[in-house]
Chain A
Amino acid sequence: MARYGMTIDTKRCVGCNACTVACKINNNLPNGIMWTRVLTEGGDAPDTPAGVFPNGKMRYVTLSCQHCENPACTKVCPVGATYKDPETGVVRQDYDKCIGCRMCMAACPYTGVRSFNWEEPAYALEYAVGDADAPEHQKHVVEKCTFCYQRTSQGKTPACMDLCPARARNWGDLDDPSSKVSELIASRSYQQLLADEGTRPSVYYLV
């Protein structure tokens, strides 16, 4: 039994989108699909600072599935196509089972972390990239971040964490007090996204 979680150090994040790209490549995401995105706090468009010179301010919030301890999505899925993995606490998605009703998308409070393949997935390259055993994408089903289940189940770490040049991301078992994530959460102050929704996210933003 484990409860996988992630910490994201907002003091380290430089908003470079390397995680967005790492995720895209390792999971061979179709065109137009992003499982993790870099949001700009303040500012009107991505990558614009808030405030007026010389008091401009810019902070990034990377957003992907929060792998909640109390997920809104798994409860409402009529066929159990999205479910909480009992071994790891990861919220998983079964493409073969999903009926494409999009109930989970309506239930998830984290705007846009779940995406639907609105048409036959198309790719920039003719051949698949990234992890060979990443599940194949399907038309008309919902998908999202799985904490790179294909990697973590083989003892590797999620792709976004691996490639982050600022080393802002850490991933590990929240139930193990000696894990890096547990140590960071214990020693740093942190925020959780939309904490008052009661979803108890497994992603912690270190501030």
Chain B
Amino acid sequence: MTTSNAPAKGGKALNIAIIVAAVLTVAGIALWAVQLTGGMVQTGMRNLDSWGLYITMFMFFVGLSAGGLIISSIPRAFGLEGIGGISKVAVWTSICATVVAIGFVVVDMGQPFRVWELFVYSNLSSPLMWDIIVLMTYLILSCVYLWATLRAEAGKVSQLALRVISVIALVCAVMVHTVTAWIFGLQASHELWHTALLGPWFVSSALVCGTALVIVVVIALRKVGYLELDQRHLVKLAKMLGAFCMVDLYFFGCDLLTAGFPGGTGAEVVEMLVFGPLAPFFWTEIVGTALAAAICFVPAARKNGMLVIASVLAIVAILCKRVQLLVGGFQIPNVDMPFAMTQYTVTNWQAGSMAAAYEGMVYWPTMLEVGVVVGIIALGALLLLVGIKKLPLKPAEK
């Protein structure tokens, strides 16, 4: 019992990975400093497309953080058989993804040193404020949940208490995704965003990419001998992934039909997605999700390698969905009459006219943004790896 709970010593590869992640993190912070001193004009964002890669990645990582927590808390909350003791690794993955998500909000802010104002001048009617509150709660709760799981294994916390915490964590996880959706969904000004379905849809997308991430992490950890896991548990996860993919596609279908059917301005939105500049993202998303589901549902295809492919496809598909949602929101301006443009108006302002500026994708990130993004993801990877090395996350022996 105690020996199995001891931290993994980790091989040389793990140490190298930790160093690489640390270096990339430092590089990312340096680039962020460049962004702050030289100005955000160095990003691709402009007045008419005022959010970009950072907020896209924020949405994406909030989604990724779901999987681990939900997968480990559902069985416990409903008193079902757990998934082979992977819940500690899964929750740790969630915690790391949440930290990354918060990091993306911070680098997107023009005045990060005023972040304290959020807690002093909180405007409680702002969905962004709600999200900050639930995100913080979620992070703290995930840590408490992980700690309680460890204490319960040592017999210090009762199973009932653990079950109560897991129910609260589950509710909170669903709230995090819904509230993140509301940052966009409550804004009537962008037709693509303004749909009641956005909340549930964010939850389903979060389940897709979160489960996929857990599958990838678990297969990798099993491969390197960090944990043992019965194949039937993996099959269970794969079936869940397939089901989540189907729900996500179903929601997408419902939303497209509702937007497009009346044929008004909603049809323009649908056209922009299906045939317009964002079509590559749209189709990658649809095809990727469908393929992932197919692999998960066909028993003969559920080999380990194939499952990793399915998971990666699902993750890429959801990333495409995030890009499409964010950029798509800005792709159709409400007031599209021509006017004089400056270097701050819109990313492609050199194109000369509004119509030309919107011909391709209205926003595309610069190398600086990509660099900062890599840095923040590296920070998450660093946390994940250090956790695997130092924390007792291995499954307890039965």
Contacts and interface: CB of A to CB of B under 8 A. Distances in A.
B3 interface: no
A99 B105 CA distance: 11
Contacts of B188: 72, 109, 197-198
B132 interface: yes
B397 interface: no
Given A45-B352, A76-B128, A120-B39, A111 B111 contact: no
Contacts of B129: 78
Interface stretch (B66-74, B340-348, B381-389): B340-348
Contact of B335 (A45, A76, A78, A112): A112
B338 A34 contact: no
24 contacts: A33-B344, A40-B339, A45-B352, A46-B340, A48-B338, A63-B339, A76-B126, A80-B123, A97-B114, A97-B117, A99-B112, A101-B128, A102-B50, A103-B183, A106-B50, A106-B189, A107-B189, A115-B344, A116-B50, A118-B43, A118-B46, A139-B110, A140-B39, A141-B110
Contacts of A116: 40, 47, 50, 110, 344
Contacts, number: 155
B258 interface: no
A198 to B, nearest CB: 7
A32 B343 contact: yes
Contact of B47 (A31, A114, A193): A114
B302 interface: no
A77 B38 CA distance: 25
Main secondary structure of the interface of B (DSSP, over half): loop
Nearest to A43: B338
Contact of A46 (B39, B123, B184, B339): B339
A3 B36 CA distance: 38
Instruction: Give the size category of A's interface with B.
Output: 35 or more
B48 A112 contact: yes
A interface: dominant SS: loop
A120 B39 CA distance: 7
A110 interface: yes
A128 interface: no
Contacts of B126: 75-78, 103
Interface string A1-44: 00000000000000000000000000000011110011111011
B190 A106 contact: yes
Interface residues of B, number: 54
A80 B121 contact: yes
A79 B127 contact: no
A105 interface: yes
B117 A79 contact: yes
Contact of B41 (A78, A106, A119, A141): A119
Interface string A139-161: 11100000000000000000000
A132 to B, nearest CB: 26
Greatest chain B CB density within 10 A among A37, A78, A110 is at A78
